Amino acid sequence: MLTHNLLFTISCFLGCSAEFYVIDDRIGLGREFDGIGGLSGGGATSRLLVNYEEPYRSHILDFLFKPNFGASLHILKVEIGGDAQTTDGTEPSHMHSKDEGNFFRGYEWWLMKEAKKRNPNIKLIGLPWAFPGWVGEGTQWPYFFPNVTADYVVTWIYGAKQHHNLEIDYIGIWNEKKYDPVYIKVLRDTLDRVGYTNVGIIAADGDWSIAAAMLEDPYLNDAVEVIGVHYPGTKTVKEALLTEKKLWSSEDYSTFDDDIGAGCWARILNQNYVNGRMTSTISWNLIASYYENLSFGGDGLMTADEPWSGHYVVESPIWMTAHTTQFTQPGWFYLQTVGNLTHGGSYVALTDRKGNLTVVIQTMTHNHSQCIRPPLPHFDVSPQIATFQLKGSFAHLTDLQVWYSKLDFETKKDTLFQRSSPIKVYNGSFTLKLDVDEVYTITTVNTGQKGTYPESPNSRPFPKNYSDDFTIDNPPFSEAPYFADQTGVFEYFRNSTDNGSHAFTLRQVVTERPVTWARDADQTISIIGDYSWTDLNVSCDVLIETPVTGGVFLAARIDQGGESVREAKGVFYWIYANGTYKVTNDIGGQRVLAEGLSGTREGVWYTLTLRIKGYFATGMLNGYPLWKNAVVLEPKNGWTALGTLSFEYAQFDNFEVNAE
């Protein structure tokens, strides 16, 4: 392997010239580095991860959180579940009603603990996207009673500590919604009053507009520790700089975890500071661990969406992350001598103020580093020679470690996070020949490692024959495996009124429309299975709990979820407490395929069976045909699902699907 210096010598012999860049701490330091993170939530983006079997689940977690192994993340941000659809599903609240609390719902508690196991220093952030309906007192506005909302959020922080021994470092307001200065100040007062003075408030997880308000309102300014923005395009505004607060890109990236996604991530990790003085960047999302055909399928730093097979893929964005995270830590400082390269690309330099230096250089081209948002203005990058002159505390360095990545869009043979020969420093300088779409880390830190595990199992589709009777005494998670709630929340339930065949069930538990973030359906729905399924039999025992107005459904060929769940089409087989049934082509019940009397009522268990073959669907009730040969022209394929007519209690048991 040619050394970098030899490459430079050959290049310059051929008649090239180098651009010079100074790395110097004598003029003082820049801003303090706060770390690189990932976001679980917004929503249900880690839903399938918990259902992986060992050792694969631990392997995945190591690639995300284990120091000096993979992404080695410094920050984990999670959604504070609000019982509502928040992009790819709903996450359950710790308080479905104001009279109860349960700090073991969902999987975010578990994920935070797993992250802390691997990195005790990881910073934890909580942010609400939605709120249970009672928080808004029926107003769809969580700021109407700011004390109620503040108490609700602080209760979550309390639960994290009391039940999971988790210290929450930062708390947010309301994701990408209008902020309310009164609420922010009430939240700060509430935190301080109960002793959470060390929990910082991040606001407002949207645009930069809060910065101007903070300059005009000293109390608001004092309440906010971090100005967090989403998808800033690496740019800041003067008002934000004038506040002298920490500036974070508190949600960014949102791009497929392929090589273009890796290019996007590598570019913004540098340029968020170079252009915008943002000292933390957090990826939405942490991991693509949800059904791929939901909104933004395949976004994330890596993919793990097949717990039934154990298959996962460590994608290139993991290694772009490692170029920064494995060689810096929160508490390091950027140097003031950072910037853009003459022929495209950028470099940052950081120090721990104890003699260590890390320089990260990226040369991502425009077409290979576009994020999903915002639009990226055109720029040019070309091969170049760069000489870095080390001065101040770093003038004495004689050699530096080198880690290298190349996203090769021509040959498709990437080099990812490869340790190269150390580079020699001559007279305080070193030189690199930089090609396009490369990342270099030049560092005094020698603990970096490209972690490996044996290949994960081969990919395979969701099993065609699957069943679940929900019989589990002490479930590790509140949701049944593979069910992905899209409106409402479906939880394991111990049915104390039934000591027989339905003692353990799955129950829909949200009984009031939440303060929503997306356009939740008016009906509740949880999907499961393979989006490519066409012909199948699916059956489930169902119990309507609401008299007269209650209703439940079993469905197949569901074509939409996530933020589009309100428009979902499929074959929906409904029975109602008023003794009728209906078959519809849509979740809203407007496109009726069949209807009639069923004799069904609340409080009685019924077995629904739905059969679909080609263009025809048939439904059975307790093993007897109730309707036949309803014509289904579309959709041609989709998930199976179960749900309720409204936000109401209902139970489900003995789910079974057999797909052809």
CA distances (Å), origin 498, targets 187, 236, 504, 539, 643: 44, 59, 9, 21, 21
The interaxial angle of helices 146-164 and 108-118, nearest 10 deg, is: 50
Q: What is the pLDDT of residue 6?
A: 39
How far is it, in rounded angstroms, from Cα 410 to Cα 424?
31
Q: What is the dihedral of CA 589, 590, 595, 600, to 10 degrees?
A: 30
Is 251 among the residues known to form the active site? yes
Cis peptide before 374 (omega within 30 of 0): yes
Cβ of 613: how many Cβ atoms within 10 Å?
A: 14
Q: What is the pLDDT of residue 324?
A: 98
Dump pLDDT digits (tens) for 263-306: 999 999 999 999 999 999 999 999 999 999 999 999 999 999 99
pLDDT of 396 higher than 70:
yes
Is 306 among the residues known to form the active site? no
Catalytic residue among 19, 137, 167, 176: 176
Query: Is the backbone of residue 614 left (phi > 0), alpha (psi -120 to 50) or beta?
Result: left
Dump pLDDT digits (tens) for 455-473: 999 999 999 999 999 999 9
Catalytic residue among 79, 91, 114, 251: 251
Domains recognised in the chain with CATH numbers: 21-363 (3.20.20.80), 465-659 (2.60.120.560)
For 300-330, give one letter per residue: b (16+ CB within 10 A) or e.
bbbbbbbbbbbbbbbbbbbbbbbbbbbbbbb
- How confident is residue 138, by pLDDT bands cut at 50, 70 and 90? confident
Instruction: Write the burial class of residue 557 (CB in 10 Å: 0-12 exposed, 13-18 middle, 19+ buried).
Output: buried
SS (H, E, C) 532-574: CCCCEEEEEEEEECCCCCCEEEEEEEECCCHHHHHHCEEEEEE
Average pLDDT of 381-400? 97
Largest Cα span, the chain: 90
- How confident is residue 10, by pLDDT bands cut at 50, 70 and 90? very low
Average pLDDT of 10-14? 39
pTM of the predicted structure, to 2 decimals: 0.97
Q: Which amino acid is at 187?
A: L
- How confident is residue 16, by pLDDT bands cut at 50, 70 and 90? low
Look up residue 178 and give its DSSP letter: -
